[in-house]
Structure formats: structure tokens, C-alpha cells
Amino acid sequence: MGDPTPQRIDIDRQERIALAWPDGISHTFELAEVRTNCPCAECRGLRDRGATIWPNDHSASELAIASAEQVGAWGISLTWNDGHATGIYTWELLRAWALESQGIVEE
């Protein structure tokens, strides 16, 4: 398995998150994809019940990242403009999503 820590992190708070890893793997995530797949317990529970994560009753008209903060060496925490701020996206999780979207199976 490649190192899950990206060497490049490019966040456009209105549109996307682009990550590139040292082994050449790169991926651009649209904000809606990241928000609707939030890994926090609250969002996982909502998805398990078939509820909509975003947009919801508290959603701003346009999704945006209000702030982003690196969490140690293992991930990133995002605060969304709808007030949601509890999901920590690990580099390992984001890399797995990137590989899956590209049909890459990592040994």
C-alpha cells in the first residue's frame, strides 16, 4: 500500500479538494461528494437510515468549506458552511475513495 499522506493538498473552498500522493495517484473530490460521505457517527447514522446528508433543512444555498484544519499527520477536519464540523477525513480514507473511483486495487 502506498503512503496515505498526500504530498499536495489543494482546497478550493467553493468547489473542490484536490489531493496528490507521492506515488503519482491524484484525485479531485467535488465538495458535495465529500460532504455527503462525511465519516462522522452522525452522518453514518443518517445514511444508515436512508436520510439525506446534504442538502438538508439547514443547508446554505451553495455548499462551501468554511474552514479546513490538518489533524496531526493523519487527516483533515472540515467545517462546512451548513455548520457541520464533526467529520475527520483521514488520508487513508480519502486515498481509498480516490483509488476506488479510479478502479485501482491496492495490494
CA 44, distance to chain mean position in Å, is 14
Q: Is the dihedral of CA 31, 86, 26, 105 positive or negative?
A: negative
Cis peptide before 55 (omega within 30 of 0): yes
pLDDT at 79 over 70: yes
Q: In this predicted structure, what is the pLDDT of residue 60?
A: 66
* pTM beyond 0.75, yes or no: yes
- Provide mean pLDDT across the span 20-24: 94
pLDDT digits (tens, 9 = 90+) for 23-61: 999 999 999 999 999 999 999 999 999 998 888 777 767
Q: In this predicted structure, what is the pLDDT of residue 42?
A: 92
For residue 71, what pLDDT band results from cuts at 50, 70 and 90? very high
Q: In this predicted structure, what is the pLDDT of residue 9?
A: 96
